[in-house]
């Protein structure tokens, strides 16, 4: 099997495994929690994204790793992690907490989308060894980050979606006809 196919297979299976785990164990718990508590749990996971700075460490990744990919991935993760930490640190100031929750989810999602774009642009799937010791990040860590960003946005929009579905119909009740 080619390195590209192995990398892509690992990536897909990383999403499958995390979706199964998330759907079985994490999502039911998050949905049952108060919105603040659920977002705090998600922020806690994302607060570890400072680890992405390791893309800049010589010897951890291959010197052949594209500098544009490594730099954007490193600083995007770092920014997301700092925003998640700020959300956690401002938990007692709810308006500030919610601002940081929105910010780290927007920055984090953008980071992941642009990282995927850069990875494809530099043909990283054909050279996964360039990731060196950080090979596990896109395979194991990125899928759960992407999944939790989607969950965070859904949980933020859920009250609005419930209100939309609760709007009474304009006009007569069909059952009375």
Mean pLDDT per block of 10 residues along the chain (177 residues) reads 94 98 98 97 98 94 94 98 98 98 98 97 95 95 98 90 61 49
* Residue 164: inside a domain: no
Task: Give the domain range for residue 38.
Answer: 3-157
| Cα 154 from Cα 111, distance rounded (Å) | 19
pLDDT of residue 174: 47
* Residue 171: inside a domain: no
* Residue 83: inside a domain: yes
* Residue 172: inside a domain: no
pLDDT of residue 158: 84
Torsion angles phi and psi, residue 61, rounded to 5:
-115, 160
* Residue 92: inside a domain: yes
Question: How buried is residue 61: exposed, middle or buried, by Cβ count under 10 Å (0-12/13-18/19+)?
Answer: buried
pLDDT of residue 159: 72
Q: What does DSSP assign to residue 168?
A: P
pTM summary value: 0.88
pLDDT of residue 177: 43
| Cα 127 from Cα 104, distance rounded (Å) | 30
* Residue 145: inside a domain: yes
* Residue 174: inside a domain: no
pLDDT of residue 96: 98
Structural domain total, the chain = 1
């Amino acid at each position: 099997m080619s390195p590209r196919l192995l990398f892509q297979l690992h990536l897909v299976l990383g999403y499958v495994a995390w979706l199964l785990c998330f759907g079985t164990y994490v999502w039911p718990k998050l949905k049952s929690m108060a919105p603040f508590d659920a977002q705090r749990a998600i922020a806690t996971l994302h607060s570890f994204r400072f680890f992405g700075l390791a893309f800049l460490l010589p010897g951890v990744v291959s010197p052949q790793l594209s500098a544009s990919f490594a730099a954007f991935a490193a600083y995007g993760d770092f920014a997301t992690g700092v925003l998640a930490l700020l959300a956690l640190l401002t938990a007692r100031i709810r308006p500030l907490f919610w601002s940081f929750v929105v910010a780290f989810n927007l920055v984090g999602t953008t980071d992941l989308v642009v990282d995927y774009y850069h990875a494809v642009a530099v043909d990283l799937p054909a050279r996964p060894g360039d990731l060196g010791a950080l090979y596990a990040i896109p395979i194991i860590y990125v899928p759960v980050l992407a999944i939790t960003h989607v969950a965070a946005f859904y949980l933020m929009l859920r009250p609005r979606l419930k209100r939309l579905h609760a709007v009474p119909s304009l006009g007569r009740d069909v059952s009375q006809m």
